[in-house]
Structure 1
Amino acid sequence: MAYQYARLGAKILITARRENRLKEVIAKAKSLGAAEAHYVTGDMGKPADCERTIQTAKEKFGRLDYLVLNHVGSSFGSINKWAEALQFWEDNPDMEFFVDFLNINMISYVRLASLALPLLREGNGHIVVMSSYAAKIPNLYYSLASAVQFALDGFFSTLRAELMKADRNVSVTIAVLGMVHTEGTERMLKKIEGGEAMLAMAAPVNETAQTIIRGAATRTREIYYPFYSWPVSNIRRLPTFLEDYLVLDLLAM
């Protein structure tokens, strides 16, 4: 998404933990046409790093047109390694991991948005929240991810309503995504049976980013991409026996 915004001539600020990777992305963003490109090395699980990120945006830009919330992580190691375990919650009810996961993947989203709201109001800006259909339906083996994404959907949908009620010209877009062909997705799926076939259904990264950027620019409330994200997300509107059958069948694929 940083590269797509760079191609549009935007001024961008990105944050992550790996400074060497940030420098690579910033260099490419500048080569693609970014008017400005800056980075903050930080861990979004730490409140001070969230605050420093938004403060840097204020110092560099004075306002924000878009706040894109798109990080996932854990202080306990690779999310991919955890995801590959595919265990039911009762088989590994790790509360310490859950609290850490919630802090990084949900609470930090709320913290960043809260800190950024004054800057967003200055620019009649937009909050863009990355999510998936795990925010809409139960996901076997992914109770932590579902819990976080259901919470994000609830919080940011309510925030949208509150901003509208208060007549703030700040919009909230939630991107409800299916599988996207990222490097992490490819590594994970290649390790499981039938993963190659599933990977063939994954949405291209560039097309996904462009779709999200267009949706945010037009203040779309929810973006569903690729096409199957909408019907999958609405399974719970069906009668209970169909919902249970389809959810279990879908997640057993």
Structure 2
Amino acid sequence: MVKPFGKVLCAAGSLAVLLAFFWRDTFQPEPDRVVQFAVRKLGGLDYLVLNHIGVSPFQMWGGDVEHTRWLMQVNFFSYVALATAALPTLEENHGSVVVVSSLTGKIPTPFTTSYSATKFALDGFFGSLRHELTMQRRNVSITLCVLGLIDTDAALEKTRGKVFLAASPAAEAALAIIRGGASRLRELFYPWWLQPVHGLWVLLPNPRVLQSFYNYSGP
């Protein structure tokens, strides 16, 4: 039986300890901007929800090496470290890992070069891990949540004039993520129409698939 999410508590304070343990590098992003993870109870982990904080994909306009490195730590290595640390406990409780990602990790999109690379890395890592867990008969589900444009202030500001898309409500996105994790879905696309767009891209990987969504006449 899937356990309710109603008692999920934020344990972001423990994140700094985990990051310090896994990363011995002097280049450290700010812990409160790196990742948030929610667990029902730390002593008997049932759910691990991985999500970044404070990073808009439309802040990335090129291949700045230091910025790309920071993004890899924020959007990839922190997810991997936390999931790896939590796996033994999740296995004991037949738990779930819920990874909040983006359509930019499924389809290369303009204005998101570094960000897109980190999200593709997430897809590859957790997709491979899912296969390994299945082969080893370990009862831990992995749900990859593929989100589109969400109506946060930062996202709306950064996409103004660049994207011809209606932003989806953040509250509904959060509810969709919770439902996807509780249902132990393999992948969740929000809003729903992102899935056929991705399917079209797989069949026809051509920029024309995206042209109606982006302002190609802009700078």
Q: Does 1:182 pair with 2:122?
A: no
Q: TM-score, normalised by structure 2?
A: 0.78
Check conservation: 2:22, 2:81, Cα contact below 8 A: no
Sequence identity of aligned pairs in percent? 36
Contact persistence 2:161–2:215 (CA under 8 A): no
Q: 2:196 aligns with which of 207, 224, 231?
A: 231
CA contact (8 A) 1:47 1:108 kept: no
Which consecutive residues of structure 2, in runs of 5 or more, have no partner in the other structure? 24-37
Deviation at 1:49, TM superposition (A): 7.7
Any conservation in 2 of the 1:224–1:230 contact (CA below 8 Å)? yes
Which amino acid counterpart does residue 95 of structure 2 have in structure 1?
Answer: G
The aligned amino acid for 2:48 is L
Rate the CA distance shift 1:64–1:169 in 2: closer, same or farther, 3 A: same
Please say if 1:98 is aligned against 2:68: yes
Q: Is the 8 A contact 1:137 1:235 kept in 2?
A: no
For residues 56-82 of structure 1, the C-alpha deviation after alignment (integer angstroms, 9 at most, x for no partner) is x99x63221110000145xxxxx45x8
Alignment-derived partner of residue 252 in structure 1? 215
Which residue in the other structure is 1:132 paired with? 102
1:143 & 1:43 partners in 2: Cα distance? 30
Aligned CA distance change for structure 1 residues 98 and 49 (closer, same or farther; 3 Å): same
The secondary structure found in structure 2 opposite 1:250 is coil
What is the number of equivalent residue pairs in this alignment? 199
Q: In structure 1, how many angstroms separate the alpha carbons of the residues matched to 2:173 and 2:58?
A: 22
The one-letter code sitting in structure 2 at the alignment partner of 1:217 is A
| Between structures 1 and 2, the one with greater helix share | 1
Q: Give the partner amino acid of 2:208.
A: Y
CA distance in 2, matches of 1:63, 1:221: 23
Aligned-residue CA RMSD (Å): 3.0
Structure 2 equivalent of residue 20 of structure 1 = none
Could you tell me how far apart the structure 1 residues matched to 2:207 and 2:114 are? 19
User: Once superposed, which parts of structure 1, at least 4 consecutive aligned residues long, lie more than 6 Å away?
Assistant: none
Deviations 1:28-57 (A, max 9, x none): xxxxxxxxxxx447398x44388xxxxxx9
Structure 1 runs not aligned, ≥5 long: 16-38, 51-56, 74-78
Structure 1 length-normalised TM = 0.68
